[in-house]
């Protein structure tokens, strides 16, 4: 069985409440309105704090280790870097159709300094030159892709990817890629865009150790002109001590990954998005605009008010953000951005779709007042013979309240609105999340409202400060009601009880973010997905994991929040009945066990067991089977029952 973080937190506290004699103000006691001050004091003392913009736990295949928001349908994870603030958005019903397919991220919204007009960057001397590589990972991962100029930052573009590094059949003991300029070239600057420069969540795939050598004939290679053994940067911008003249240049990859997770340790490859070569003496380079840096950063997760408070200096100017995800019924992510400085800021609000996979197409467009990005769970045509097949499309649309955009635009995956935040001024950045679920059927017929129409309707109800005040009041009332359902008060002078109480309220917050009466219930890792490959497909593991998520809801007086948990079981009921009535399917659990039961007359030789249910370990919403194996487990129907 595969444990999950918030399930373990609730299970721990539930066990204590049920089986340990400790002094409580009621074991999960229901609170009255006049006890709100006491409940506020109990819950409000627990906050999460971050003091830098590294966000090292953001891109994970489990729950991200950063500030999070949720409303039972949408999940938001806080991120960004040293110059911009980003909120990553996922949706609980945005699942890829098929076996072993996960819920995936939609995209996000980024707030950053507005781009200054860029001068023309010179062409790389390696642009479209002939490349030879030691190995590749398929026709769409050849070395030529690393010099074609099609690379773009944060685009998800993959250039050259080698075979798996190592010894043995089919492995590449030391990957390399060689560029033939066609004639001798003089150069003194090399820029290598490693994999995470285009796929920022793939920090573990940055090339750790490599060297660069040159040759006049492509056969004789001298000592490296550059070498590094401890690179962690997504981009290596290398200025040589002196110009070099050569016809051939070769990148030798010594260690292809950071080896910081199982995949980069067990299946290391060389991954180079783009390899660029320049001569600074002969080529004119643009003057890079100075992007204001984020300093004096502080962010806190407030579970009482279900918000994220952020404050920092942007280029020396004090800025504050208050961000919340409107409670159930309003899929609106709202950031109140305040400029506490005495000078204006020129900023950009950008809605973007998660890139990185051509099979998950992304679009982006803007108008004078809105910026929209969409993502689909698949490209191409659906299987018209599979009546259960579907395609899901989700949309993010951003608008400003309190500012008129000064400019707008879009790229293939992002759309933006530029605006001025005056000294002492406040602007609301409002992003609506629509779509998800079964948007198109197996014949590509639209069977749900268009996601962009959904976001337009949500934004129409949030286009003024007065309307936003109303939404905020509804949000506060929802969470007040949630916290008043029940509470515990332990003797926190005891360190163990203090830890249990802290876990209790943190776990209740996570359940409040994830669970809703009428939404698709959360899988193993809740609503928060920042990569396309969550562990175990973040599915509904019926071997206790799925149901255990909801134990804490029942024990703390919030049973109605578990109502939606039953729907995936009902959706799979017809398939489960057919599976139980098929002996060959039963044998997939254990051949010897089933044959024994056949001999005892308890299972029909071909027709299995009538009026029974056979569930696999992993299912998903909409009747999907996520895991084709039963893993020798017989109780996947019994445990949910």
pLDDT digits (tens, 9 = 90+) for 447-459: 999 999 999 999 9
Tens digits of per-residue pLDDT, 512-568?
999 888 899 999 999 999 999 899 999 999 998 998 888 888 888 888 888 899 999
Tens digits of per-residue pLDDT, 56-90?
889 888 999 999 999 999 999 999 999 999 999 99
Nearest to 456 by CA among 429, 433, 472: 433
Nearest to 10 by CA among 617, 562, 635: 562
Phi, psi values for residue 194, rounded to 5°? -75, 170
Angle, to 10 degrees, between the axis of helix 495-514 and the axis of helix 465-484?
130
Would you state the pLDDT for residue 119? Answer: 65
Would you state the pLDDT for residue 4? Answer: 33
Would you state the pLDDT for residue 11? Answer: 38
Angle, to 10 degrees, between the axis of helix 465-484 and the axis of helix 36-44?
90
Would you state the pLDDT for residue 29? Answer: 60
Would you state the pLDDT for residue 9? Answer: 37
Enumerate residue ranges in the chain where pLDDT < 70: 1-31, 116-119, 288-289
Measured distance CA(73)–CA(474) in Å, rounded: 17
pTM for the model stands at 0.83
DSSP helix/strand/coil, 500: helix
The two beta strands, 85-95 and 74-80, are antiparallel
The two beta strands, 271-278 and 160-161, are antiparallel
Tokens for 334? 């709202």
Instruction: Check if the beta carbon of residue 432 is closer than 8 Å to that of residue 455.
Output: yes
Would you state the pLDDT for residue 340? Answer: 96
Instruction: Check if the beta carbon of residue 640 is closer than 8 Å to that of residue 569.
Output: yes
Tens digits of per-residue pLDDT, 311-330?
999 999 999 999 999 997 78
């Amino acid at each position: 069985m595969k444990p999950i973080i918030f399930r373990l937190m609730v299970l721990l506290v539930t066990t204590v409440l049920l089986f340990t004699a400790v002094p409580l103000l009621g074991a999960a006691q229901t609170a009255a309105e006049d006890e709100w001050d006491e409940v506020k004091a109990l819950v409000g003392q627990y906050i999460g704090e971050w003091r830098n913009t590294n966000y090292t736990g953001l891109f994970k295949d489990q729950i991200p280790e950063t500030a999070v928001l949720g409303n039972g349908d949408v999940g938001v994870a806080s991120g960004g870097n040293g110059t911009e603030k980003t909120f990553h958005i996922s949706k609980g019903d945005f699942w890829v159709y098929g076996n072993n397919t996960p819920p995936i991220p939609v995209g996000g919204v980024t707030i950053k300094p507005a781009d200054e007009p860029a001068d023309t960057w010179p062409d790389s001397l390696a642009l479209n030159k002939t490349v030879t590589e030691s190995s590749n990972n398929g026709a769409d991962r050849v070395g030529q892709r690393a010099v074609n100029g099609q690379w773009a930052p944060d685009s998800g573009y993959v250039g050259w990817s080698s075979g798996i590094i190592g010894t043995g059949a089919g492995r590449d003991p030391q990957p390399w890629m060689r560029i033939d300029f066609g004639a001798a070239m003089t150069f003194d600057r090399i820029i290598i865009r490693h994999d995470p420069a285009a796929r920022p969540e793939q920090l573990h795939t940055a090339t750790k150790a490599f060297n660069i050598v040159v040759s006049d004939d492509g056969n004789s290679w001298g000592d490296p002109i550059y070498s590094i053994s401890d690179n962690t940067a997504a981009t290596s911008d290398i200025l040589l001590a002196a110009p070099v003249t050569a016809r051939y240049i070769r990148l030798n990859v010594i260690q292809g990954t950071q080896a910081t997770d199982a995949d980069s340790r067990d299946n290391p490859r060389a991954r180079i998005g783009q390899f660029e070569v320049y001569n600074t003496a002969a080529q004119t380079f643009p003057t890079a605009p100075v992007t204001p840096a984020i300093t004096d950063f502080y962010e806190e997760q407030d579970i009482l008010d279900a918000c994220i408070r952020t404050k920092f200096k942007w280029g020396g100017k004090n800025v504050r953000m208050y961000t919340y995800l409107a409670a159930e019924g309003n899929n609106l992510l709202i950031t109140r951005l305040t400029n506490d400085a005495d000078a204006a800021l020129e900023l950009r609000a950008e809605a973007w779709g998660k890139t990185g996979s051509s099979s998950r197409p992304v679009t982006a467009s803007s108008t004078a007042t809105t910026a929209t990005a969409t993502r689909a769970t698949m490209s191409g045509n659906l299987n018209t013979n599979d009546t259960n097949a579907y395609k899901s499309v989700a949309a993010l649309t951003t608008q400003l309240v309190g500012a008129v955009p000064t400019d707008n635009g879009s790229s293939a995956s992002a759309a933006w609105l530029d605006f001025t935040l005056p000294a002492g001024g406040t602007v609301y950045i409002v992003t609506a999340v629509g779509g998800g679920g079964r948007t198109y059927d197996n014949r590509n017929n639209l069977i749900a409202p268009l996601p962009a129409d959904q976001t337009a309707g949500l934004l129409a109800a949030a286009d003024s400060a007065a309307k936003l005040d109303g939404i905020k009041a509804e949000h506060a009332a929802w969470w007040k009601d949630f916290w008043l359902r029940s509470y515990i008060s332990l003797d926190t002078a005891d360190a163990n009880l203090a830890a249990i109480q802290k876990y209790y309220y943190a776990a209740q917050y996570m359940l409040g973010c994830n669970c809703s009466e009428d939404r698709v219930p959360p899988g193993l890792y809740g609503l928060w997905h920042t990569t396309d490959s969550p562990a175990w497909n973040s599915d509904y593991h019926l071997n206790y994991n799925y149901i255990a998520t909801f134990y804490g809801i029942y024990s703390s007086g919030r049973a109605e929040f578990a109502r939606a948990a039953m729907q995936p079981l009902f959706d799979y009921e017809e398939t489960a009945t057919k599976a139980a009535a098929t002996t060959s399917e039963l044998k997939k659990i254990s051949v010897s066990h089933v044959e024994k039961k056949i001999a005892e007359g308890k299972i029909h030789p071909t027709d299995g067991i009538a009026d029974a249910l056979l569930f696999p370990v992993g299912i998903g919403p909409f009747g999907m089977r996520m895991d084709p194996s039963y893993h020798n487990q017989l109780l996947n129907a019994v445990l949910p029952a």
